Amino acid sequence: MLTPRVSRAPRRKLISVAAISATLLSGTATAVVLAGPAAAGTLAAEAAAPAASSLVPAERLIVGYKSTAAEAKSNSAASADAEAKGREAGEDLDFQRRLGTGAALVDLGEKLSKAEVADVIAEYQEDPQVAYVVPDRLNRPLADPNDTEYSKQWDLFEATAGMRVPGAWSTATGSGVTVAVIDTGYVTHSDLAANVVAGHDFISDTAVSVDGNGRDSNPADPGDWYATDECGTGTGSSDSSWHGTHVAGTIAAVTNNSKGVAGIAYNAKISPLRVLGKCGGYDSDIIDAITWASGGTVSGVPANSNVAKVINMSLGGSGSCTSATQSAINAAVNRGTTVVVAAGNSNANAANYSPASCNNVISVAATNRSGSKASYSNYGSVVDIAAPGGQTSTGTANGILSTLNSGAQGPSTESYEYYQGTSMAAPHIAGLAALMKSASSSLTPAQIESAIKTNARALPGTCSGGCGAGLADATKTVQAVSGSGGSGGTTYTSTTAVSIPDAGSAVESPITVSGRTGNAPSALQVGVDITHTYRGDLVIDLVAPDGSTYRLKSSSSSDSADNVATTYTVNASSETANGTWKLRVQDVAAQDTGRINSWKLTF
């Protein structure tokens, strides 16, 4: 007995462009004759158009009829023709609508194999009233930003050790997200100004503030230069760094404005909070800035109208995280703000530096242009992730280019300069966090951290001492949290809770997939929601119907965060789609328990 077709639901199918082109080229001579409003070009041009890959996402066909055909003028005729050709091909075709050119958009029904698509195409090509038939292909923005210095931003796009940012922009650009840059403040720059919103100056000590007063609503950076030994014997002298402006540019420089550099989350907003001045800044000011940025109340400071969902702190000092700083961070995270910090630049264990060693932060090490740990970067088990930080000792252009000012002491003309440091690496992750929050506003700080780490790639180079989960991959991470990384289609979900025994045997949660044809996609999305008080204990595998296993997560003694709430991408194209899939989870260490709350497969 034939199984009745289910009602249509939104989906996206993969159609072989090569197969379609071959069918088109083998069509009858009448098929290459184009006339009337539906004739957008020659069939030969359509058939010979190069494909970016052998498979492109599509779910419909565009059919152009000759102007003399009834189907070129009548929607009912085009609909009847689609149904008739579907019957001939053994498929369920459906006329959707008329395009502006007069062509008909025809839905392919259920997901079809390459052979089935070829059969449908052949039916249309055998009709002398059909001028052309082509796939309704999915397109994405391909153009690079037109910013004049973008070609120098290797950290965003280079294949070897870039953070793969451009591929994320088709999904998210940071819209709706404010990032607080807790730093030296902001010096006016035309390549950043449109994305700057109100912040605050939290420096209370006038000797540090340089601007002649204490706390106020003006976070302008007057310069942090100091004379020889002014900051202590042996400290030498230094010109103003304009550090906060450089950091802010990496996160959200205005993009596609034919000027300067591109920001990672270029539609996000920057709230500059000034805590660093001459010779540095105090914990007390930083703690208040963290509190205020995340929507907390600070005595004597007006309520924050630009509450940040991401905080960047490219700052630090020696000594482990204090209870005072940790308390402020915990409160910020509890309010829903993700806190990103620099690991430090002493080529030492980050556990001995703050805020790098604080809990509930994303601690970021720096990599160089070859993808190895930068020579100066801190390392260790408290590091969560690595990102490009540059290394100018191997050439100035191997640093990170961003917005700056040319003034040696006070502000002068705006400029762009290459810097290096974990201070440059951290804003890469803050920008990525903003993209993620823009793509999926419900993400918690824990989910953002988990997804960044889960979707990282192995360091292209080396890191002695530990650089976290690897080199952050913006495209893969944003696709994972937005669900855009797969081929789309039906989602199968299990909501049956399964307890995970402490240091016990693996447990499994099944999902039965049916009604599909062919194999699973090459970008099968596996969404996981697991509660656990020390997720580093967990090993997670996807088990295919034939028993093949795909490692989603390995155990890690350094990952002390709670819970696993993320989406993994698996190349399951060798597996038959139908059958019972299982999520297998094992707790490999003692003292913590958890449960599988739910998980899902999206085909």
User: Rounded to whole angstroms, how far apart are CA atoms 138 and 142?
Assistant: 12
Decide if pLDDT at 244 tops 60.
Answer: yes
- The answer to whether 150-223+234-483 and 491-602 have equal CATH topology is no
Which amino acid type is present at position 4?
P
Distance CA 364, CA 30 (A): 63
Q: What is the pLDDT of residues 404-461, one digit of tens each?
A: 999 999 999 999 999 999 999 999 999 999 999 999 998 999 999 999 998 899 999 9
Please tell me the predicted confidence (pLDDT) of residue 355.
96
Q: Measured over all CA atoms, what is the biggest interatomic distance in the chain, rounded to whole angstroms?
A: 91
Whether the Cβ atoms of residue 219 and residue 185 lie closer than 8 Å to each other: yes
Whole-number pLDDT of residue 572: 85
* pLDDT over 70 at 50, yes or no: no
Which residues make Cβ contacts (< 8 Å) with residue 7, sequence separation at least 6?
none
pLDDT score of 217 more than 70: yes
Which residues lie below 8 Å from residue 547, measured CB to CB, with a gap of 6+? none
Q: Could you give the C-alpha distances from 386 to 53, 279, 544, 603, in angstroms and in order? A: 31, 27, 32, 31
> In the predicted model, what is the mean pLDDT of residues 83-100?
87
Residue 189 annotated to the active site: no
Report whether pLDDT(401) > 80.
yes
Catalytic member of 127, 147, 183, 221: 183
Q: Which CATH class is domain 150-223+234-483?
A: alpha beta
β-strands 55-65, 104-107 pairing: antiparallel
> How far is Cα 479 from Cα 527, in angstroms, rounded to an integer?
12
CA distance 238 to 42: 67
- 576 pLDDT exceeds 50? yes
Closest CA relative to residue 134, chosen from 46, 15, 67: 46
The structural domains of the chain, with segments of one domain joined by +, span 60-135, 150-223+234-483, 491-602
pLDDT in tens, 305-340: 999 999 999 999 999 999 999 999 999 999 999 999
Nearest alpha carbon to residue 183 among 338, 315, 307: 315
User: Yes or no: is domain 491-602 CATH 3.30.70.1450?
Assistant: no
Mean pLDDT value across the chain: 86
* Least confident piece of the model among 22-31, 93-102, 253-262, 461-470: 22-31
Q: Given pLDDT bands bounded at 50, 70 and 90, which one contains residue 139?
A: low
Mean pLDDT in residue range 347-363? 96
Query: CA–CA separation, 19 vs 17, rounded Å?
Result: 5
Residue with tokens 């189907």: 71
Q: Looking at residues 496-517, what average pLDDT do you find? A: 90
CA distance 469 to 464: 13
- Which residue of the set 21, 81, 127, 243 is catalytic? 243
How deeply is 96 buried, as exposed, middle or buried, from its count of CB atoms within 10 A (0-12, 13-18, 19+)? middle
pLDDT of amino acid 47? 27
pLDDT of residue 482: 82
Q: Which of 142-146, 520-524, 533-537 has the highest mean pLDDT?
A: 533-537
- Out of 421-435, 458-472, 515-529, 548-562, least confident range: 515-529
Give the CB-side neighbour count of residue 97, counting CA atoms within 13 A.
Answer: 4
CB contact at 8 A, 276 and 219? no
Q: State the average pLDDT over residues 385-398.
A: 97
- Distances in Å between the Cα of 9 and the Cα atoms of 30, 389, 488 are 35, 45, 11
The residue from 423, 438, 450, 482 that is catalytic is 423
Query: Which residue in 224, 251, 226 sits closest to 236, CA to CA?
Result: 226
Answer for the pair 414, 245: CB distance below 8 angstroms, yes or no: no
Low-confidence winner among 117-131, 295-309, 580-594 (lowest mean pLDDT): 117-131
Sheet holding 549-553, edge to edge: 507-513, 579-587, 538-543, 549-553
The phi and psi torsions of 17 (rounded to 5 degrees) equal -65, -35
Which of 8-22, 507-521, 568-582 is the least confident region? 8-22
471-to-169, 211, 315, 388, 460 alpha-carbon distances in Å? 18, 39, 21, 8, 8
Unique residue bearing structure tokens 């970016």: 52
pLDDT > 90: percent of the chain = 67
Structure confidence at residue 111 (pLDDT): 66
- 183 carries an active-site annotation: yes
- What is the tens place of the pLDDT at every residue in 60-76? 788 999 999 999 999 99
98 DSSP 8-state letter: E
Angle at 547 between CA 541 and CA 553, to 5 degrees: 10
Share above pLDDT 70 across residues of the chain, in percent, rounded to a whole number: 87
Return the structure tokens found at 198: 């109100």
pLDDT at 483: 61
Say what the pLDDT of residue 143 is: 62
Q: Answer whether residue 9 shows pLDDT above 60.
A: no
Average pLDDT over every residue of 583-592: 93
Taking a C-beta distance cutoff of 8 angstroms, is the pair 93, 106 a contact?
yes
Query: Does the reported pTM lie above 0.85?
Result: no
Checking if the pLDDT of 51 tops 80, the result is no
* pLDDT on residue 565: 86
